Amino acid sequence: MPLFGRDPKYRVFRVAKRKAMPDGLWTKCDDCGEIIYNKKLEENLKICPNCNFHFTLGAPERIKLLLDKGSFQEYYADMESSDPLKFSGPKTYKDKLKNDQGLTNMKSAAMVGKGSMDGHDIIFGVTDSRFIMGSMGSVVGEKIVRATEKATESKLPLIIVSGSGGGARMYEGMLSLMQMAKTSAALAKHNKAGLLFISVLTNPTMAGVMASFASLGDVIMAEPKALIGFTGPRVIEQTIRQKLPKEFQRSEFLLEHGLIDMIVNRKELHNTLVRLLGYFS
């Protein structure tokens, strides 16, 4: 019998083209590499369920997480940076500001105001690393200083949550660098008045922010595995040509060496702050 004259005993089906997976459904953990479903990550307060790595939160998320619902009254919301040096490069300073203002819906890298935690009135500040890495320009410094002065005048505790991967903002030159001394001076007056300042360090808290107001708390706490320091570990290794200790500049290393007072999981942060406010009140 002719080979090609036979009726085939199979059918050919047209397989529908597989739909592409939508973007933005999964996130890879920066610490352990686990692929996490975003909805699960959000439900877990952006904490990796595999290794407990705490992802970065924006300033509005911090306010929602820590303060009593509806209690936050923002101060100086319309304050924004100018361009004193007319800085230009591959991207101008004005372009960077405009881009990050659109990204974060914030005018600057810091939000400050009055709020409450379980009924305790406080002055609250938070920096946001999504906005030019949370670096401290003149506006960020001015907001921190004014919030500190408000706390001193009102005789209220001050809590600042730092999430700043950058230090003094080079686009503003000396106007930015002087904010380190200015914020420190305001906190010295707050301390002299016998008032409480709690500093909360999150991933990352680096450079000029860490070298000024972030390190001056009466109580300094940090989230687990947060990168905290002045110069980044890679730069230090390249400079000293030595391998740094394991977990160098992470919260756990700094607690062991006495730079911070405690490490607090994000899920326990609100309750821990409330307890401290109760103790010191």
Question: What structural domains and CATH numbers belong to the chain?
Answer: 26-55 (no CATH), 57-280 (3.90.226.10)
Report how far residue 254's alpha carbon sits from residue 216's, in angstroms, rounded to the nearest whole number.
Answer: 15
Contact between 184 and 212 (Cβ < 8 Å): yes
Q: Is 175's pLDDT higher than 90? A: no
Report how far residue 209's alpha carbon sits from residue 213's, in angstroms, rounded to the nearest whole number.
Answer: 6
Amino acid identity, position 1: M
**Alpha helical stretches, state H, the chain:** 38-43, 59-66, 93-104, 138-154, 174-177, 179-192, 207-210, 233-240, 251-256, 266-280
pLDDT at 25: 84
Q: Which carries the bigger pLDDT value, residue 187 or residue 9?
A: 187
pLDDT tens column, 235-260: 777 777 777 777 777 888 889 888 89
Mean pLDDT of the chain: 85
pLDDT at 96: 84
pLDDT tens column, 90-109: 888 888 888 888 888 888 88
pLDDT tens column, 12-58: 556 555 555 556 788 888 778 888 888 888 888 888 888 888 888 88
pLDDT at 2: 56
pLDDT at 67: 94
Supply 99's token pair. Answer: 């881009």
Contact between 103 and 130 (Cβ < 8 Å): yes
Other Cβ atoms less than 10 A from the Cβ of 69: the count is: 7
Report how far residue 23's alpha carbon sits from residue 137's, in angstroms, rounded to the nearest whole number.
Answer: 34
Contact between 264 and 198 (Cβ < 8 Å): no
pLDDT at 220: 95
Report how far residue 2's alpha carbon sits from residue 24's, in angstroms, rounded to the nearest whole number.
Answer: 56
pLDDT tens column, 207-237: 888 888 999 999 999 999 888 888 777 777 7
Q: Which carries the bigger pLDDT value, residue 168 or residue 106?
A: 106
**pLDDT band at residue 154, thresholds of 50, 70 and 90?**
very high
The partner residues of 114 in beta bridges, in order of sequence, read 73, 123
pLDDT tens column, 181-210: 999 999 999 999 999 999 999 988 888 888
pLDDT tens column, 51-63: 888 888 888 999 9
**pLDDT band at residue 176, thresholds of 50, 70 and 90?**
confident
Contact between 209 and 251 (Cβ < 8 Å): no
Model pTM?
0.83
**pLDDT band at residue 147, thresholds of 50, 70 and 90?**
very high
Query: Residues 268, 108, 159, CA angle at the centre, nearest 5°?
Result: 30
